[in-house]
Amino acid sequence: MKKIILCGIALVAGLMSCTEDYTNWGTPQSNTPNEPQTFVMMVQPTASSIDFATYTEETVQLFTTNVGEGQTKGYTVTITGENVDGIQIIQADANGRVATSTLEDVVIGLYGKAPTPRTLILSVETIVNNINTAEGVISAKVKASPYSMTAKLDAPYIDENGYYLVGNVDGWTCKRVEAYHMTNNGGDVYDNPEFTVELEPVDGVTTYEIKMIPAADFNDDGTVKEWGRALSALPGVDTPAYSGKFSDKNAGGNIKFDAVNGAKKYIVKINAMETTYDVKAITYNPFIYFIGATDGWNNDEPNRQRLALVDESGIYTGYIYCADPNGWGNEFKFQKVAGDWGTEVNSGMMSGGITGDVADGGGNFKATAGEGIYYFTLNMATNSLNAVRITNMNLVGDFNGWNQADDAQQMTWDAANYCFVITGAGVTANGWKFTANNAWGINLGGDINDLTQDGSNLSAVGTTIKLYPTRKTSDKIYCTVE
Q: How far is CA 415 from CA 116, 371, 421, in A?
A: 50, 10, 10
Per-residue pLDDT, 336: 95
What are phi and psi for residue 106, nearest 5 degrees?
Answer: -65, -45
65-71 long-range Cβ contacts below 8 angstroms, 24+ apart = 65/41, 65/96, 65/124, 65/126, 65/144, 66/40, 66/41, 66/42, 67/41, 67/94, 67/126, 67/128, 68/130, 69/94, 70/129, 70/130, 71/128, 71/129, 71/130, 71/131
CA dihedral 408, 478, 388, 453 (to 10 degrees): -100
350 closest CA partner among 364, 339, 340, 338: 364
The DSSP-derived string for 431-444 is -EEEEETTEEEEEE
Per-residue pLDDT, 184: 93
309 closest CA partner among 289, 326, 286: 286
CA distance 330 to 297: 11
pLDDT per 10-residue tile (average), the chain, 482 residues: 47 38 41 54 92 96 94 96 95 97 96 93 93 82 94 94 96 95 90 94 96 97 96 96 96 97 92 95 93 96 95 93 96 97 97 97 97 97 97 96 94 97 95 96 96 96 97 96 96
Per-residue pLDDT, 25: 40
| Other CB atoms within 10 A of residue 20 CB | 10
Task: Order across the sheet with 63-65: list the strands.
Answer: 17-19, 4-10, 37-45, 63-65
Calculate the CA 92 to chain-centre distance.
Answer: 31
133 closest CA partner among 24, 41, 287: 24
Contact yes or no for 197/140 (Cβ under 8 A): no
Helices (H) and strands (E) in the chain, counts: 1, 39
Per-residue pLDDT, 351: 96
Per-residue pLDDT, 7: 54
Segments of 11-48 assigned E as strands: 17-19, 37-45
